[in-house]
Amino acid sequence: MNEIGIVKEVNGVTAIVAVTKKSSCDHCSDGAGTCLSKGNEMLIDALNVVKAEVG
């Protein structure tokens, strides 16, 4: 199982903002492209939350 963790350090605070598991996309009926685009949207949302909390 491949896990991808995105670790972001902001102002000395380290946070894992997104973790995706490859296996969660293996059964995606819409194909890998849709899974990747949805994953990117989730990642962008997570990064925006981190930015908002840090200021």
8-52: pLDDT as tens digits: 676 777 666 655 555 555 555 555 555 666 666 777 777 777 777
Rounded to whole angstroms, the Cα distance separating 55 from 33 reads 33
Q: Which residue type occupies 1?
A: M
Q: Looking at the whole model, is its pTM more than 0.75?
A: no
First CA to last CA distance, the chain: 35
Confidence of residue 1 (pLDDT cuts 50, 70, 90): very low
Task: Delimit the domains of the chain by residue range.
Answer: 3-54
Query: For residue 43, what pLDDT is reported?
Result: 74
Chain mean pLDDT for the chain: 63
Q: Residue length, the chain? A: 55
What's the pLDDT band for 5 if we cut at 50, 70, 90? Answer: low
